[in-house]
Structure 1
């Protein structure tokens, strides 16, 4: 078994930062009416700026694969070129196409050489799952290096035109032409971007982060779906997939829209997060005192105090100065968020050798959680 180090990190955030007041200039107005939920949601999540890979006409400036490629190529230099790469492991919840895989599409843009590919799907944990694949590949000796990524391109999923047919259908049925909160909610939560890590079996450069361990937990065996796209939720909690709908229903019911069961989110995301993090730390005999920087991916600042309180009740008291977050400035970039946050910390000048970093990533899809523990070398 070999030690594994994150030797370089990179991020790519498209275009200029978009303020709260500018969001509907990019995403558009549904039914030519400003969202009544937008200000309430933004007041709770406290995000002040984010990035979109679209212009004000709603036209794409980058694909998801291009965002990812633009992060990956920053990892190449005279010491490690694109010809040295052995494994490319990519995670996303918003691939450009169902098939081929996201990793294959990114590799197609790199045009370097034949490499081993892995694509991780899901929601926020897909980026951590991609990282774990690279970690295990290098750790086992299967490869000497791997590049792992997390990326999202959700702006086009959230554009007003994606909901227009549903609004027209509601008007035809003489119903109130307002989309459900479970759909409108996420329009003001998500943003675009990509992050990438280079993993190697020895440290390199001025700073490297040794991956001590990674752990993942799923509660899908006991909890129903909370966040989903490409289907809709039935009264019994089951998901009816897009392939079981008629083509006109795809548009009339916005079947491909990203949706969130907010009640389930509020009930389970924090308790299951505290439970899984407590188990992961206990398994590896890590205490709160042995964490110098805590990087929690949270979808909204609304959950921060609740997470602190829940951890405190479990005896995991991580003091405020150890928390490192950039959510308010870069937005919720899903699977890329943890990459973008760690890249910022890695090159902040704050880290010193021996510092220990705990990464925490929840996923509300069907409640999954992923953790990583790093040591600065």
Structure 2
């Protein structure tokens, strides 16, 4: 009875360690390191700190799947979103009894699993009447990254995208399960039947651009890109480590921080700007390297997100990553329109 809301909180760090100790094969089964952002450690925190609330759990639903419940009356989820719970056997595309047991939960408390394109139900008569529409079918859908990837055409083995938002994400579709958790690569089910995907996640990408623009007095990102281009590639000895918020792939270190190195008397705003573009580019190259370590071949990346507005930065990134970048019409606003 009632609902329990669980937010993304760093308070479940201890629960992550407990999960990995309880299920030594967790990384191989779930395809990921246990991190506080996943659902399982949050529910462990509830079990340990709010046992009365935990005892009342009937079904665990992800946010979009609770909306589905209200729309259709069905307790259902798609495989791509469910892979982010740490309760899924990602390779087998089914709930893992071992991972659920470690959290004191059972498969009976989980929603039914569907491929992203499958129909999970139809609108209830009440909702259809309220919205003034027929009782249309409702598909399983997908997690945000997986649905966005479908929106830009990343749908077959080797298709890949680079998202240059506040953080940076390299997303690659694969036709089999290719985990590399030791290097903080995420491996999930894709939102398409029989497909998986890998992700490298870089916590600071375009946010580094905004930061250096602010501290150097640039009018904005466009002004900063112009300053960097005027300075040119490798225009000075300056190096930038782009870890303003820690780093996920490949270091998995929330405490590491950024730095400028090798500054000299000739260092100016233009050279600092160029160093930041290069520093982020080489961090992304680190991410691509660990995807390749898991056996993935990436020949080109479709670029989306606000960072796609700068062709010059794209040239810097392409040189650092040694891969072709493809710019999509409207890609700077993201993939939601294509996903819809």
* Structure number having the greater strand percentage: 1
Max radius of gyration: which structure? 2
Structure of greater relative contact order (alpha carbons < 8 Å, 6+ residues apart): 1
* Structure number having the greater helix percentage: 2
